[in-house]
Amino acid sequence: MNTTEPLILNIEAATSVCSVCLSRGSEVLSLHESSGQNEHSRVITLLIERCMTDAGLKFTDLDAVAVSEGPGSYTSLRVGFSTAKGLCFALGTPLITINTLASLASAAFEEVKDSSVLYCAMIDARRMEVYAALFDADGKELSPPTPMIVDSSSFEEYFSEGQKIVFCGNGAEKCKMALTSALALFSSVVNNNSAYLVKGSLMAFSHKIFAHTAYAVPHYLKPPNITSARQLPL
């Protein structure tokens, strides 16, 4: 193991999966995750401690902390960001933020390894709505992250030109019935994983692309779905 490579703690908490991994350069040293519902705030520090213990390293050894910036669940993103920022403030290490959809698309490319297709990452946003973004094989963003409702006509402008698209993420899973074109392909990259952040966090560290720890905020895309309390009858 090359100890001159940066040691980065990667936190993925944008969706229902809370995942943490420790990476040295491009190598994942340890990874722990939990998919329990509504337990991010309870388990995230435990997952981080397990990663550090597995690797036999101290928090002061960290060179940076990376966090998935969204889009995704409002509450889950806040948990991930508050934890990452708290560590950065305490340790004096830089903060790296990684677009969640970009990391999913990158993981799908690593699986498919086809430069002739496009990669569309989707995160479930309830019912038939998803948060989606389209990328080419080089990771260039062709359409920005946006909420969209998927139906049989979605992406027709690409399919009509014979363009294949590989769909990934948990939002793509529920869109399989709607996307009936033979040009719509589906990756096995479904659930978010902190290992998907490693490539992006290493690149950001190498180019010193750091977020402002005090002012960095998650990329929610939409305001939280907060309902008013019902008034009980007297």
pLDDT digits (tens, 9 = 90+) for 93-137: 999 999 999 999 999 999 999 999 999 999 999 888 999 999 999
Q: Which 3 state secondary structure label does DSSP give 147?
A: strand
* Per-residue pLDDT at 228: 46
The phi and psi torsions of 51 (rounded to 5 degrees) equal -60, -45
Q: Is the separation of the CB atoms in 37 and 16 below 8 Å?
A: yes
Supply 168's token pair: 């990934």
What one-letter code names the amino acid at 169? G
Q: Provide Rg for the chain, Cα atoms.
A: 18
* Per-residue pLDDT at 226: 43
pLDDT digits (tens, 9 = 90+) for 148-200: 999 999 999 999 999 999 999 999 988 888 999 999 999 999 999 999 999 99
* Residue limits of CATH 3.30.420.40 in the chain: 7-99+192-206, 100-186
CATH of the domain spanning 7-99+192-206, picked from 3.30.420.40, 2.40.50.140, 3.30.930.10, 1.25.40.10: 3.30.420.40
- HEC readout, 67-123: EECCCCCHHHHHHHHHHHHHHHHHHCCCEEEECHHHHHHHHHHHHHCCCCCEEEEEE
Please name the CATH architecture into which domain 100-186 falls. 2-Layer Sandwich (3.30)
pLDDT digits (tens, 9 = 90+) for 29-74: 999 999 887 899 999 999 999 999 999 999 999 999 999 999 999 9
Q: What's this model's pTM, rounded to 2 decimal places?
A: 0.92
Q: Is the separation of the CB atoms in 39 and 101 below 8 Å?
A: no
